[in-house]
Amino acid sequence: MTKRPTFFDEMTGNTDGARRPYQPYEAWFRSEDLRELRKKSIEAERFFRRTGITFNVYGQDEADERLIPFDIVPRIISGREWARLTKGIEQRVRAINAFLYDIYHRQEILRAGRVPAELISRNEAFLPQMIGMPPPGNVYTHIVGVDLVRTDEDEFYVLEDNARTPSGVSYMLENRETMLQMFPELFSRIKVREVKDYPVQLRRSLAACAPPAANGGCTVAVLTPGIHNSAYFEHAFLADHMGVQLVEGSDLRVIDGRIAMRTTRGYQPIDVLYRRVDDDFLDPLNFNPDSMLGVPGIMDVYRAGGITIANAPGTGIADDKAIYSYMPDIVEFYTGEKAILKNVPTWRCSEPDALAYVLDNLSDLVVKEVHGSGGYGMLVGPAASKKELATFRAKLESKPGNYIAQPTLALSTVPILTQKGLAPRHVDLRPFVLVSPDRINITPGGLTRVALKKGSLVVNSSQGGGTKDTWVLEE
């Protein structure tokens, strides 16, 4: 008989009482009426619906706009735990930025043999157009999301890095706003670090990366693919809260060597463009010629120092899951230190011995596409049917280089509110990091995603997951 794995419960620590970070909350919860809390949960859902906090689901026949379910039980992290996490996150983000600069310039890490050259040269996310092109302030990754999972009291792993166009920060902010409205008394008795200044910090951080062509002030805009994009709510939310314009490609054009946006007073130059459009669609003259989402000629303006594009084109290679498997080496190569945050052990299916192991143990592993995201193109072996295992086996044998595999981690759990009370569910955490030439700012908390289905390890909203407010305690 297979032994059931033991999952670390962040509220109780698998004991009869509450762990120290949760003790004030647990005492409050015991004094509350469960029926009233369930009413609050329904009220929170109405709030999200009124606010229009939705996301789009691709490839679905039913209505494509959905609410992300929100659970009113917060995830609580102590100040001590957060201090350790931020130290590891900052180290990792600095290394990623140094890695991106290196592979587009001297490629010293490749010459040293720490990362295989073919992993870069054959990677579709590597942009030859960026070779020798230093971005303003030498910042590639202006906004980064680092996905973390926990397996024990002091055991955290980085699940993946999001350096291209990380999403979800609007849900972090709205989750907190909802909790403040629902439970103001909680925030008076429990000292929780604030997250509300993220939009101000984002604008300041972007402005600090202004290009050489900027003259004194700095005009920032957010570039969206449009209302049908799955994260459109977030694009509009961030533009509104930063006090900047939300633009589409059709609103922009090249004028006098600058990117200018259409306004009621004519075309006005932009200094920094926070783009939420993928590289391939950014400039039809340099990338996909059929793109209607980008701006013809923007890469030429960028190369000439006329605009800052955040995040820089070509940063997506740092999201690659095969590159991820080399992150401990990358961190050590650029910082001279061992990585503070661990990687999940990873088998690169492009390697024959690794592929053989993965095929022999497919039902025990998690298999991911190297360019995949959002929980798509992924196999969770222990939860897969015989048919799904057979389908993935064929994919691996056909294109092994497209996949990596990892063990099924015993992800920590955090309670959610159910009809019968509290019940444990698996979670991950995406802290948000802002990078400018002179500092790295990590918002205290981040987006906790929760697998609402009992026993599920998949937290992505596109796969039925929900979100929680994340509290980092003042200490």
Q: Is residue 174 part of a domain?
A: no
In whole angstroms, give the CA distance from residue 234 to residue 168: 7
**Percentage of the chain lying above the pLDDT 90 cut:** 80
Amino acid at 182: M
Residue 378's pLDDT band (cuts 50, 70, 90): confident
Q: Above 60 in pLDDT, residue 445? A: yes
Q: Is residue 322 part of a domain?
A: no
Residue 462's pLDDT band (cuts 50, 70, 90): low
What pLDDT was estimated at residue 64?
53
Residue 361: how many CA atoms within 13 Å on its side-chain side? 16
Q: Is residue 399 part of a domain?
A: yes
Average of per-residue pLDDT across 175-189 = 95
Contacts of 395 (CB under 8 A, 6+ apart): 402, 403
Of 408, 438, 458, the position where a domain reaches its end is 408
Average of per-residue pLDDT across 333-350 = 95
Q: Is residue 144 part of a domain?
A: no
Do 228 and 297 reside in the same domain of the chain?
yes
Contacts of 214 (CB under 8 A, 6+ apart): 271, 272
What pLDDT was estimated at residue 293?
94
**Contact call for residues 465 and 450 (beta carbons, < 8 A):** yes
Q: Report the DSSP pairing between strands 258-263 and 266-270.
A: antiparallel
- CATH number of the domain bearing residue 388: 3.30.1490.270
Q: Above 50 in pLDDT, residue 136? A: yes
Number of domains in the chain: 2
Rg (CA), the chain: 23
Do 293 and 369 reside in the same domain of the chain?
no
What pLDDT was estimated at residue 219?
96
Q: Above 80 in pLDDT, residue 216? A: no
Of 408, 435, 459, the position where a domain reaches its end is 408
User: Exposed (0-12), middle (13-18) or buried (19+): which is 320, by Cβ within 10 Å?
Assistant: buried
User: Exposed (0-12), middle (13-18) or buried (19+): which is 408, by Cβ within 10 Å?
Assistant: middle
Judged by average pLDDT, the poorest of 21-25, 299-303, 417-421 is 417-421
pTM of the prediction? 0.92
Range of the domain at 354: 345-408
Q: Is residue 316 part of a domain?
A: no
What pLDDT was estimated at residue 66?
65
Q: Is residue 462 part of a domain?
A: no
Nearest to 432 by CA among 440, 420, 424: 440
User: Which two structure tokens, joined as six digits, stand for 312?
Assistant: 């820089």
| 59 vs 372, residue with greater confidence | 372
Whether the bond into 162 is cis, omega within 30 of 0: no
258-269 burial: b if 16+ Cβ within 10 Å, else e: bbbbeeeeebeb
- CATH number of the domain bearing residue 254: 3.40.50.11290
DSSP-based three-state secondary structure for 330 = helix
6 Rama sector, left if φ>0, alpha if ψ -120 to 50, beta otherwise: beta
Q: Above 80 in pLDDT, residue 18? A: yes
In whole angstroms, give the CA distance from residue 469 to residue 177: 9
Count of residues for the chain? 475
What pLDDT was estimated at residue 60?
47
Residue 68's pLDDT band (cuts 50, 70, 90): confident
Average of per-residue pLDDT across 368-379 = 73
Q: Above 60 in pLDDT, residue 94? A: yes
| Residue carrying the six token digits 């917060």 | 74
Residue 270's pLDDT band (cuts 50, 70, 90): very high
What pLDDT was estimated at residue 61?
46
What pLDDT was estimated at residue 2?
40
Q: Is residue 295 part of a domain?
A: yes
Of 408, 429, 458, the position where a domain reaches its end is 408
**Contact call for residues 280 and 291 (beta carbons, < 8 A):** yes
| Residue carrying the six token digits 């463009």 | 273
Average of per-residue pLDDT across 21-35 = 95
In whole angstroms, give the CA distance from residue 375 to residue 370: 12
Q: Above 80 in pLDDT, residue 377? A: no
Strand partners, 143: 434
Q: Above 90 in pLDDT, residue 333? A: yes
The dihedral of CA 110, 111, 112, 117: what is its sign? positive
Dihedral Cα 269, 273, 279, 281, nearest 10 deg:
-50
Q: Is residue 21 part of a domain?
A: no
Do 282 and 350 reside in the same domain of the chain?
no
Average of per-residue pLDDT across 255-278 = 96
Q: Across the chain, what does the average pLDDT equal?
A: 91
Work out the angle between the directed axes of helices 169-182 and 198-207 (0-180°, nearest 10): 150
